[in-house]
Amino acid sequence: MSAKDITRLLEEHGIKPTANRQRIASTLAEAGFPLTMADLEDRLETIDKSGIFRTLVLFREKKLVHTIEEEDGVRYELCHSHDHEEDDDAHLHFHCLKCGRTFCMERIPLPKVELPEGFAAESATYLVKGVCPDCR
């Protein structure tokens, strides 16, 4: 994504496009797969851990990132939705048990789940575990 696209995406989600926020969003966009906090720290050496964490919290609140909770921690990926109130690009993720990589399966939407009366879903994650083609 271009710097202009990143700025527009931040603004569409109601986020002021500061230099650090733009760098974090750009790093997530360029990765092509979900990143851990440690991955982000390695890639963004000039931004301290607390700055990255605060930005991720804001991005989550504004629905600019998806979080994938795995056994070894949380991974973050940029959401391509253009709505800060609704996540319209939720999709399946695949975690390889051999190499540890997590892949976005963007063309596979999350299945619709009918909850009993009185329950209100806020978010959902669908993670399939197995072996990726490179490790087979």
Q: Buried (b) or exposed (e) across 9-41, using 16+ Cβ within 10 A?
A: bbeebebeeeebbbbbbbbbbebeebbbeebbe
Per-residue pLDDT at 63: 85
> Is the full-model pTM beyond 0.85?
no
Quote the CA–CA distance of 102 and 22 in Å, as a whole number: 24
- Residue of 30 and 1 predicted with greater confidence: 30
Q: What is the pLDDT of residues 77-98, one digit of tens each?
A: 887 655 555 555 677 888 888 9
Domains of the chain in start order, with CATH, are 3-130 (1.10.10.10)
67 bridge partner residues: 76
- Residue of 53 and 67 predicted with greater confidence: 53
Alpha helix (H) residue ranges in 17-132: 19-31, 37-43, 49-61
Tell whether the model's pLDDT for residue 131 goes beyond 80.
yes
Instruction: List all residues 6 or more positions away from 130 whose beta carbon is below 8 Å from its beta carbon.
Output: 94, 95, 96, 97
pLDDT band at 101 (very low <50, low <70, confident <90, very high): confident
**74 near 57, Cβ under 8 Å?**
no
User: What average pLDDT does range 47-62 have in this prediction?
Assistant: 94
Q: What percent of the chain has pLDDT over 90?
A: 46
